Amino acid sequence: MIKNPSNFTNNKKSHDALKILNEGLIHANPQIGLKKYFFRNKIKTKSSIINLKNFENVYVIAIGKAADSMMKFVSSKIAITKGIIIMPSDYKPIFKQNKIQFFMSGHPLPNSESLKAGKYIKNFIAKTTKKDFIIFLISGGGSSLVTLPYEISLKEKIALNRQLIQSGASINEISCIRKHLSDIKGGKLIQKMKSSAVSFVLSDVIGDDLSSISSGITYADKTTFSDSLKILKKYKIEKKVSKNIISVLKNGFNKKIPETPKKPKFPHIIIGNNKKSLLAMKDKARKLGYTTIVIFNLKSDVKIVSKIIANKFKTTKKSCIIFGGESTVNVLGKGKGGRNQELVLQISKQLENNSILISSIGTDGIDGCTKYAGAMISNENIPPFEQYLKNNDSFNFFKKFGGLIFTGPTHTNVNDIGLIIR
């Protein structure tokens, strides 16, 4: 929930906007999606009911920004033998239990704890048997939270991740390369697993591509080494990365290294996504008396996304455009900010001279390299911001003139949500 509402509730537009945004955050809670699958020591999948009493051990492995909130719910419904939570180091766990082991790892870039977590779960899973059952709880952020590089160093992996993020590459493209430089991603983690399993997934990927969410750590992979090389070339960073990285990818391309697994081993169930939050926001906006338009699946550079949104704008009074997805920013300046803060300014630029309120936030509560979720701005009497945009310095604009939205870590992640109110 938004924790600094007093900064915005000076008029009805901002008051209503906060209500609508909060509705989106409420429906991003993974516990809502998990309820219909878990019963007392039983799991319901799309095709069967699994009685966990039939197994000697029940293990739960939770990875991602929603790891602890997902684990908290699941552990209240079933008797677990052991739980493993791998979550961001700047999060404060919402609960603790003796049976649960925590790894507080790096995000958005992996660190030594991410490497430690990767080695641990690989060895842990290798020791399980047919008498065991594993419940995986997967959410966004797992790509950096748990890592085990293949024939490259952690330092090389971190440098590559930074270059990809700054290049403007999409999450799917970044995931593709990560999987082909990993010893556990792209389904490699569970390739030789002997136990039965099921994976419940909170999607932070537009289109809910299971092979991209947390780099498909428990799923199969449809991408190839060839795709990875093409992505590096596309963003002109193939000459900036280490020789070891290029060597691994080329060896894979030349079939000297096996491809990632192409068939999933067990059921994967999507329990929440961006669309569910947007539809909840739509219902809330209508209850508040607004005519609504919803734009789903936005995923491009903030400049392009802002134009798409602006083209849907209508001058009808008491209207609300609701939008969501995950834009990217090609970082050329030396400023500070996040894609949501920058998107708000880009939309404002597109719709200048209109009496509107604009907001966009990350459902995880973190926008870029800031501690804020995003921003909100009224398009009336707005100070000049073109120089801030040129320097990718949206944060300092909002810090100076107001508009930053604070939620703190939300322990969930279903991409970004936003709105325009007239």
Place of tokens 């958005």: 108
First to last CA, the chain: 23
Is 17 part of any domain?
A: yes
Is 38 part of any domain?
A: no
In the listed set 266, 290, 319, which residue is the last one of a domain according to the structure? Answer: 266
Is 43 part of any domain?
A: no
Q: What is the 3-state secondary structure (H, E, C) of 278-328?
A: HHHHHHHHHHCCCEEEEEEEECCEHHHHHHHHHHCCCCCCCEEEEEEECCE
Whether residue 286 sits in one domain with residue 213: no
**What's the pLDDT at 316?**
81
**What's the pLDDT at 153?**
95
Mean pLDDT of 226-237: 96
**What's the pLDDT at 170?**
85
Whether residue 201 sits in one domain with residue 63: yes
Is 34 part of any domain?
A: no
Report yes or no: 178 and 143 within 8 Å, Cβ to Cβ: yes
For residue 214, the 8-state DSSP code is G
In this predicted structure, the answer to whether residue 388 has a pLDDT above a threshold of 90 is yes
Residue 133: pLDDT band with limits 50, 70, 90: very high
In this predicted structure, the answer to whether residue 33 has a pLDDT above a threshold of 90 is yes
DSSP letter string, 241-262: S-HHHHHHHHHHHTTSSPPPP-
Report yes or no: 132 and 193 within 8 Å, Cβ to Cβ: no
In this predicted structure, the answer to whether residue 9 has a pLDDT above a threshold of 80 is no
Whether residue 245 sits in one domain with residue 309: no
Whether residue 415 sits in one domain with residue 293: yes
Question: Helix, strand or coil for residue 345?
Answer: helix
Report yes or no: 132 and 57 within 8 Å, Cβ to Cβ: yes
Angle between helices 274-287 and 12-26 (to 10 degrees): 140
Token readout for 391 is 């320097």
In the listed set 231, 266, 301, which residue is the last one of a domain according to the structure? Answer: 266
Question: Helix, strand or coil for residue 39?
Answer: strand
For the entire predicted model, the pTM comes to 0.91
pLDDT digits (tens, 9 = 90+) for 145-190: 999 999 999 999 999 988 998 888 888 899 999 999 999 999 999 9
Report yes or no: 281 and 417 within 8 Å, Cβ to Cβ: yes
User: 17-26: buried (b, 16+ CB within 10 Å) or exposed (e) per residue?
Assistant: bbbbbbbbbe
Domain that holds residue 73: 48-266
Is 40 part of any domain?
A: no
pLDDT above 90 covers a percentage of the chain that reads: 88
How far is the C-alpha of 280 from the C-alpha of 33, rounded, in Å? 13
**CATH number (domain holding residue 313):** 3.40.1480.10
**What's the pLDDT at 57?**
98
Is 41 part of any domain?
A: no
Report yes or no: 199 and 271 within 8 Å, Cβ to Cβ: no
Is 33 part of any domain?
A: no
Whether residue 213 sits in one domain with residue 325: no
Mean pLDDT of 228-254: 95
Mean pLDDT of 391-416: 96
Whether residue 252 sits in one domain with residue 154: yes
**What's the pLDDT at 166?**
85
**What's the pLDDT at 10?**
76
In the listed set 205, 236, 266, which residue is the last one of a domain according to the structure? Answer: 266
Whether residue 282 sits in one domain with residue 251: no
- Stated as kind and residue range, the H or E segment containing 132 is strand 132-138
**What's the pLDDT at 183?**
96
**What's the pLDDT at 389?**
96
Whether residue 197 sits in one domain with residue 247: yes
In this predicted structure, the answer to whether residue 347 has a pLDDT above a threshold of 90 is yes
Q: Domain count of the chain?
A: 2
Neighbours of 3 (CB within 10 A): 12
How far is the C-alpha of 263 from the C-alpha of 265, rounded, in Å? 7
pLDDT digits (tens, 9 = 90+) for 256-281: 999 999 999 999 999 999 999 999 99
Whether residue 205 sits in one domain with residue 59: yes
How far is the C-alpha of 126 from the C-alpha of 140, rounded, in Å? 24
Residue of 146, 105, 97 whose CA lies nearest to 124? 146
**What's the pLDDT at 46?**
83
pLDDT above 70 covers a percentage of the chain that reads: 100
Give me the phi and psi of 328, to 5 degrees please: -125, 160
**CATH number (domain holding residue 93):** 3.40.50.10180
Whether residue 352 sits in one domain with residue 262: no
Whether residue 405 sits in one domain with residue 325: yes
How far is the C-alpha of 267 from the C-alpha of 385, rounded, in Å? 49
Whether residue 53 sits in one domain with residue 23: no
**What's the pLDDT at 171?**
82
**What's the pLDDT at 100?**
97
Q: Which amino acid is residue 361, in one-letter code?
A: I
**What's the pLDDT at 116?**
97
Q: What mean pLDDT is reported for the chain?
A: 95
**What's the pLDDT at 275?**
97
Is 37 part of any domain?
A: no
Neighbours of 280 (CB within 10 A): 21
How far is the C-alpha of 285 from the C-alpha of 393, rounded, in Å? 31
**What's the pLDDT at 393?**
97
Alpha helices in 38-148, H assignment, sequence order: 67-77, 112-126, 142-145
For residue 53, the 8-state DSSP code is G
**What's the pLDDT at 319?**
96
